[in-house]
Amino acid sequence: MAGICCYRPDGSRARLCFHTQPDSYNDHTLIGVLKQLRRFLRGAPVTLIWDNLPAHHSRVMSAWLDRQRHWLAVEYLPGYAHDLDPVEGLWANLKEVELANLCRDTITEVTEAARQGIARVRRESMLLFSFLRHCGLEL
């Protein structure tokens, strides 16, 4: 699962971009997620705040990011600074509600529970702003 908390610079709106796939993410699949993000946000300029996952720094990713500078700026969090990442609030929230004590037989069932949580968070957009405030970040 990949989640991206999206905020308008003026604080007027927050949205959640969410992606699932059966395998782990690598630089190529993350590029696909970022292409979907661009469509999701209808080409609006984006400042992406990213942790230091190795796929975020690969040669393939760096070359692709260099070609996207007209719409995408990337800022990296310091190492081991998960508390500064708003999407960590999303994962914590899902783990406390839909995924709490969840025991399912298939990954499809777990994914469906996560999707239900994503739908809930999307309906309660103030949660997305609370994830940002919890990190001590401002728009």
- In this prediction, residues 22-32 reach a mean pLDDT of 94
pTM flag (> 0.75): yes
Whether residue 32 lies inside any domain: the answer is: yes
Which of 135, 132, 14 shows the shortest CA–CA distance to 78? 135
| 124-128 LR contacts (CB < 8 Å, sep 24+) | 125/13, 125/14, 125/15, 127/89, 127/93, 128/5, 128/7, 128/14, 128/15, 128/16, 128/86, 128/90
pLDDT tier for residue 82 given thresholds of 50, 70 and 90: confident
Q: Domain count of the chain?
A: 1
Whether residue 102 lies inside any domain: the answer is: yes
Q: Can you give the pLDDT at residue 80? A: 84
Whether residue 84 lies inside any domain: the answer is: yes
Task: Report pLDDT digits (tens) over 34-69.
Answer: 999 999 999 999 999 998 889 999 999 999 999 999
Instruction: Provide the residue range defining the domain that includes 35.
Output: 2-134
Task: Report pLDDT digits (tens) over 86-131.
Answer: 999 999 999 999 999 999 999 899 999 999 999 999 999 899 999 9
Whether residue 87 lies inside any domain: the answer is: yes
- In this prediction, residues 20-25 reach a mean pLDDT of 90
Q: How many CB atoms lie within 10 A of CB 118?
A: 19
Supply the CATH number for residue 40's domain: 3.30.420.10
Whether residue 39 lies inside any domain: the answer is: yes
